């Protein structure tokens, strides 16, 4: 039953996030009282997602770190600078929106990127290594990046962000990988199968609760809201593109490039929403919450582009050989 439920939720994940946002807005008067549960739910989700990996996946990447370093550069240098420039170009008198755009690009890579990389036959060990490295560095990189880009315009609780990232992401990730590494890989995978559907439901709950906190800013869909949505869509779209171009220009293998596309383009957007709601004014969370609506849709769209660029030509060559 749990596997069937997990398969059903996986199939409909692109719709789960928008439905959760709408639910949070409609039930805001009730759900916003549950915001204290969000860090705990998110920590449980991170633990579940980390059960699939262990510390051994880092070995090859440590020996050949260029793809990892290039992806981290795309995640924490290229895309945030782009978001900073776009934000100041279109919202120069709105520091909260600029902060939200930047926050959506400096948070660590999304754990769900490994699912998309495996679907399109990318380098899964590299993906896991990038997720692990970026997760462990996030308590330092996120506050540092925010301090550099917006420290003068918005008050930052640096130590609060670091504690939040440690509790929600780093410690649960280490615990999950330790179970896989030292306890039993088979049992860890069984735990993951059991917990996976609950983790997806937890994601829906986190999105709904965070949306309820910023509901007053989501109810009024005016021209500014539409501008923010279009800008966030363009910035999120660019993250995948920059990572792809970096992979091509540095002549990475196809499998490594696919891993870079998804780890460099996707973000742990739920963690970003939690940070935005916990440590910034509510207006800051609006671009981040909007970013939730696009993430899975863009991942699927880039998957089709990957298939056209990398997989269809190979299939055509095979078909041509058979005909000849």
Overall average pLDDT of the 107-116 stretch = 77
- Percent of the chain at pLDDT above 70? 81
- The per-residue pLDDT for range 240-279, each reduced to its tens digit, is 999 999 999 999 989 899 999 999 998 877 677 777 777 7
pLDDT band at 60 (very low <50, low <70, confident <90, very high): low
Contact 291, 269 (CB under 8 A): yes
Query: What is the chain's mean pLDDT, rounded?
Result: 79
Geometric angle at alpha carbon 40, from 15 and 172, rounded to 5°: 95
pLDDT over threshold 90, residue 74: yes
Give the chain's domains with CATH numbers.
16-315 (1.20.1530.20)
Confidence bin at 75 (pLDDT 50/70/90): very high
User: Are 104 and 235 a contacting pair, CB within 8 Å?
Assistant: yes
Average pLDDT over residues 213-225: 74
Per-residue confidence (pLDDT) for residue 319, from 0 to 100: 46
Cβ-based burial of 201 (10 A; exposed 0-12, middle 13-18, buried ≥19): middle
Specify the higher pLDDT residue, 183 or 14: 183
């Amino acid at each position: 039953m749990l596997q069937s439920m997990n398969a059903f939720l996986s199939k409909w994940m692109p719709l789960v996030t928008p439905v959760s946002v709408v639910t949070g807005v409609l039930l805001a008067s009730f759900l916003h009282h549950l915001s204290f549960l969000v860090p705990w739910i998110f920590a449980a989700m991170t633990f579940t997602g980390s059960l699939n990996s262990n510390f051994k996946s880092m070995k090859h990447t440590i020996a050949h770190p260029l793809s990892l370093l290039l992806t981290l550069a795309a995640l924490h240098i290229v895309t945030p600078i782009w978001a900073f420039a776009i934000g100041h170009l279109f919202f120069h008198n709105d520091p909260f929106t600029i902060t939200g755009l930047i926050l959506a690009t400096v948070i660590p890579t999304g754990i769900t990127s490994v699912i998309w990389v495996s679907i399109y036959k990318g380098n899964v060990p590299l993906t896991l290594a990038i997720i692990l490295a970026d997760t462990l560095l996030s308590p330092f990189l996120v506050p540092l990046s925010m301090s550099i880009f917006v420290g003068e315009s918005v008050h930052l609780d640096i130590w609060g962000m670091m504690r939040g990232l440690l509790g929600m992401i780093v410690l649960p990730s280490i615990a999950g990988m330790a179970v896989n590494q030292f306890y039993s890989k088979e049992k860890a995978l069984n735990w993951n199968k059991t917990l996976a559907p609950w983790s997806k439901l937890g994601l829906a709950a986190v999105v709904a609760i965070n949306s309820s906190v910023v509901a007053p800013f989501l109810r009024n869909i005016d021209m500014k809201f539409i501008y923010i949505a279009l800008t966030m869509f363009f910035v999120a779209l660019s993250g995948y593109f920059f990572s792809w171009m970096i992979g091509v220009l540095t002549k990475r293998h196809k499998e490594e490039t696919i891993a870079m596309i998804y780890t460099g383009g996707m973000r742990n957007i739920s963690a970003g929403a939690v940070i935005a709601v916990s440590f910034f004014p509510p207006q800051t969370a609006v671009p981040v919450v909007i970013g939730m609506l696009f993430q899975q849709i863009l991942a699927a769209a880039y998957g089709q582009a990957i298939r056209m660029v990398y997989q269809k030509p190979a299939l055509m060559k095979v078909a041509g050989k058979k005909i000849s």
